[in-house]
Structure 1
């Protein structure tokens, strides 16, 4: 029976891949995609999908929303400063905020240092070029294409400092053909870039300076707390008396939390080195466990539609007890992630009654046993050594 349950789960996974590829290839399912709750996106129009994606990220717990707010504040401040100080070519201030802003204050500071150094070198070279060539616009016209080619091809490869220095040369050769310029053009660009850099730094310090370091802990904890109740609800649905229709529990809130957690993890990984203390927590295992809860809540009620004998009282009691223990373990992990006082360690699961077994009870056993192993692995990775806290978590 256990082998049958595992084979059935593998077959369901293969069926999901088939439907997903069908939707991706044809823009929609060629046959009804079941369960509909799992493929909810297949029947929605593009405007509704965009609306759902935008509305789903309108929360302070979304790293995409945080980045959008930080960028909007920086651009608004840059526009106000450039307008109030009447800076020449003030749009460079906004451009500096856009190109030098990063998701953490430390990364922004590193980018600003390199950009200012590169602009200083570029300003010196551009000033010497303008002084040396004077108003020979034909020479500037001949230099513009090669300088642009070098700047836009090699600049991104060589780094921020080289990109900023070369772009300053591009600006000088382009503006010199439009109107007479002096070395003051390099001075104006330097002032604008420094002004934009200072504004970007202030926004980075005031708005989520640590980036996704703390947010990934909160997002993963919220994901586990949202998905954990699906386990007892699914078990209760499968243990319903014969004749009672089995319906899959609501999984869209868990899917929403999963998307927020995936975005937070993606940004966290982009900000953090692969090695180091910050990698103690097994974030992949958290995402896999949450996916397992969501998919099991959809799969198992569909498996239960086949003819099967009812579960025994002992098997039903084991399933309810194990489901409650998994919820308690998930809550303990979530508390460890947010540096709250964790609950007691749940008692080890008992052995389920197998006299007589039924396909439904075995399906539940295989699913919940796998979840228990995954959650135990996560707990060992997020439990800090004695006297230490998880990186990014607030102290108790």
Structure 2
């Protein structure tokens, strides 16, 4: 976890840092004093103290006070298992190391389950680390469990009732509903003739801002739909659909002539009216998930919109107006944009219905794997998520391996050399390690300076106070409060310095100590820091950047195949049932891995000069989503009754798809190779001629053309960024995700 500079913190963040220190101090002090001085149980007191510190300070559970308290209660049985395992495996160093390997990897890998699991994992690690060191005393297990339970319950009550974190102002469902409602308003405006005189309608910037508010980085961690559960997957799916819809509507608003009828075509206006109605109903369904479905038994596919789409597609396939002639090209182009928005709205409505507890929408794209997760059980979804990240390509896997290696090495060193208070070595590895070697060194350097200062202060205190327990008892609570708040406010140096005082004051009450306790603390932190730094240097020292580059390259390769497969499916005549629709499973899996890498990459500090290509990761992500959006519905577009496109149009479509796929593949090759380009990359090749304007399948071909144009536009920034020389500045290289 990185620490912002004190001056960069908002007042709310500073206030919460102090409030968090108060909550942890209250729970830890109450448990420690009560067990030590009320029950005369030193072991129980120690575990009450560290149980509260582990889950309140080391763990970073996101959410409101109520949400944090719920997570603490849910993880309480797991804590019992970890304390028991640590106690029993402490019999031998090798058994403790083996247990550390299993526990360390499983808890670190739990980050794939979402922010809450990732936040609780470090605290749970400490619950195994603390009892896994000598003395081996299984007879004290009940005291350890009782102490931990008391500390955890006190912390739960503190999080819930003592200066609790208020709930967020807007939930993810609320943001999704707001975005869907705004999309409905924009569609309604597009379907009507603007009134004369000054007017104020929805602007493209407002639509873009509504989409940006749904980005994960703009949402509190506890509100992000990041787990493998069907509800979260459906909410994430719906967010992607509504953002795409907002972009489509914004493009139509920009293309509309000022002051003129935005949609003079009656067929398009009718379909936009159906889109507006479906968006309004979808917004209500998202905002009130327990209310009856606004679509009845139609599984989230709005019946009026589905009927409007079928009528619209039939009219386009017939390509006849009342006077018997084909509509102008601009009308056909507008119809293509309106149909794309309508199909995206159907996906949005279906995803929201699945998030409300529905199942796979039918008859929405019945042969598509778009909603393959909707019928899967919870175990199948979690198994797919876990197995999908058990790969060298996953940053969660890389982080779990790095953390596990560091903890196992620290436990082995502490056991082999019989280091006193060896759990401090592992605690240093756990708290000071970062995902890049540079950041780890920066953190370790600050922490060592702080620990040295804290050790000097602790030694002076122990020498001055001697064996006087009342002095230490009086100092513990204020020192804890200062340490827990200062660490969050001012960074690792202050945190380590004051935490050294905390442990010294606490241990001085458990047994007689000398100034050498502070020396032991300093040596343990140095040992842990060296081990953590070595692991950071040996295991993926550059953090997520290289993996992000590689994952974006693999994503481009996968979606390039999907481009050509989708085009081939669209070109098949309606009567030709040969071949299944293109599968998007591989592309969506590659997209999830790439986005996970990108999210970690954005959380890491960056150097202005780096070797290798400098892709615009956000542009690659948008390109992949643009390809997936077309692959989801274009193969199911209605074809003309008399057959598919003619030879000229087929050649055009295949050449365009091949050119775009080749560009994606070559850019992917460059990213996977990790080398800067010797010469600028060419723009995507344009085929010689457009589709045949007299082709009976022209409306469908225009759908393809709009799709190709969108992919080409999304890809252009990625090409420009990849062509930029190494070390050249790029203000758009690290956009918010």
Q: Same fold (TM over 0.5)?
A: yes
User: Is the deviation greater in 134-143 or in 348-357?
Assistant: 348-357
* CA distance in 2 between partners of 1:109 and 1:275 (Å): 18
Q: Give the corresponding residue for 1:285.
A: 619
CA distance in 1, matches of 2:392, 2:509: 47
Q: Distance in 2 between matches of 1:76 and 1:167?
A: 24
4-13 or 174-183, which deviates more: 4-13
Residue in 2 that maps onto 1:347? 685
Cα contact 2:620–2:718 (8 A) shared by 1: yes
**Partner residue of 2:484 out of 139, 143, 152:** 152
* Partners of 2:532 and 2:635 in 1: CA distance: 52
In the TM superposition, residue 54 of structure 1 has moved relative to its aligned partner by 1.1
1:16-63: per-residue Cα shift (whole Å, max 9, x none)? 333333333x34449558445122222222222221111111111111
1:325 corresponding residue in structure 2: 659
Query: How far apart, CA to CA, are the structure 1 residues paired with 2:376 and 2:499?
Result: 44
- State how far apart, in whole Å, the 1-side matches of 2:494 and 2:581 are: 56
Q: TM-score, normalised by structure 2?
A: 0.50
Structure 2 partner of 1:119: 451
Question: Which residue of the partner structure matches residue 222 of structure 1?
Answer: 554
Q: How does 1:135-214 map to 2 (within 5 A)?
A: 135-214=467-546
Tell me what 2:713 maps to: 373
Comparing 197-206 with 135-144, which one deviates more in the overlay?
A: 135-144
CA spacing shift, 1:27–1:149, aligned 2, 3 Å: farther
Contact 2:572 2:644 in 1 (8 A): no
Q: Please name the residue that 1:253 is paired with.
A: 586
CA contact (8 A) 2:360 2:375 kept: no
8 Å CA contact 1:316–1:361 kept in 2: the answer is no
Identify which range, 216-225 or 144-153, moves more after superposition. Answer: 144-153
CA deviation after TM superposition for structure 1 residue 358, in Å: 2.4
Query: Structure 1-normalised TM-score?
Result: 0.90
Shift of 1:13: 2.3
Residue 85 (structure 2) pairs with residue 85 (structure 1): no
| Structure-1 residue corresponding to 2:345 | 14
CA contact (8 A) 2:691 2:698 kept: no
Per the alignment, in what secondary structure is the counterpart of residue 229 of structure 1? helix
The answer to which of 86-95 and 135-144 deviates more is 135-144
Query: For residue 286 of structure 2, what is the aligned residue in structure 1?
Result: none
Matches of 2:499 and 2:624 in 1, distance apart? Answer: 46
Q: Write the distance in 2 (CA, Å) between the matches of 1:115 and 1:315.
A: 66
Partner of 1:303: 637
Q: Deviations over 1:56-98 (max 9, x none)?
A: 1111111111111111111110010000110111011111111
Q: Deviations over 1:121-145 (max 9, x none)?
A: 1111111111111222122222222
Please say if residues 309 and 358 of structure 1, whose CA atoms lie closer than 8 Å, have aligned partners that are also in contact: no
> Residue 86 of structure 2 aligns with which residue?
none
Find the aligned partners of 2:607 and 2:630 in 1 and give their Cα distance.
31
> Aligned runs of 1:51-90 on 2, under 5 Å?
51-90=383-422
Contact 1:248–1:298 under 8 Å retained in 2: no
> 1:28, 1:43 within 8 Å by CA — same for their partners in 2?
no
Q: For 2:639 and 2:524, how far apart are their aligned partners in 1?
A: 68
Greater shift after overlay, 335-344 or 364-373?
335-344
Query: Tell me, what secondary structure is at the counterpart of 1:228?
Result: helix
How far apart, CA to CA, are the structure 2 residues paired with 1:138 and 1:352? 89
**Alpha carbons of 1:325 and 1:195: their partners in 2 closer, same or farther (altered >3 Å)?**
same
CA distance in 2 between partners of 1:4 and 1:308 (Å): 21
1:117 CA drift (Å): 0.5
Q: Which residue of 1 aligns with 2:668?
A: 334
The partner residue of 1:4 within 317, 332, 335 is: 335
Q: Deviations over 1:317-336 (max 9, x none)?
A: 10011111111111221133
- Which among 374, 378, 385 is matched to residue 46 of structure 1? 378
Task: Determine the C-alpha separation between the residues in 2 that align with 1:329 and 1:197.
Answer: 46
Would you say 1:264 and 2:597 are equivalent positions?
Answer: yes
Distance 2:727 2:608 in 1: 18
Q: Residues 46 and 146 of structure 1: is their aligned pair in 2 closer, same or farther, counting only changes over 3 Å?
A: farther
Q: 1:55 to 1:131 in 2, by over 3 A?
A: same
Separation of aligned partners in 1, 2:678 and 2:568: 27
- Please list every run of 5 or more consecutive structure 1 residues that lacks an aligned counterpart in the other structure: 392-396
The range that moved more, 30-39 or 324-333, is 30-39
Is the 8 Å Cα contact of residues 144 and 174 (structure 1) preserved in structure 2? Answer: yes
Measure how far apart 1:12 and its partner are.
2.3
| Cα deviation, residue 352, structure 1 | 2.4
Match of 2:461 in 1: 129
Uncovered stretches (5+) of structure 2, i.e. residues with no partner: 1-331, 730-737
In angstroms, what is the RMSD of aligned CA positions?
2.5
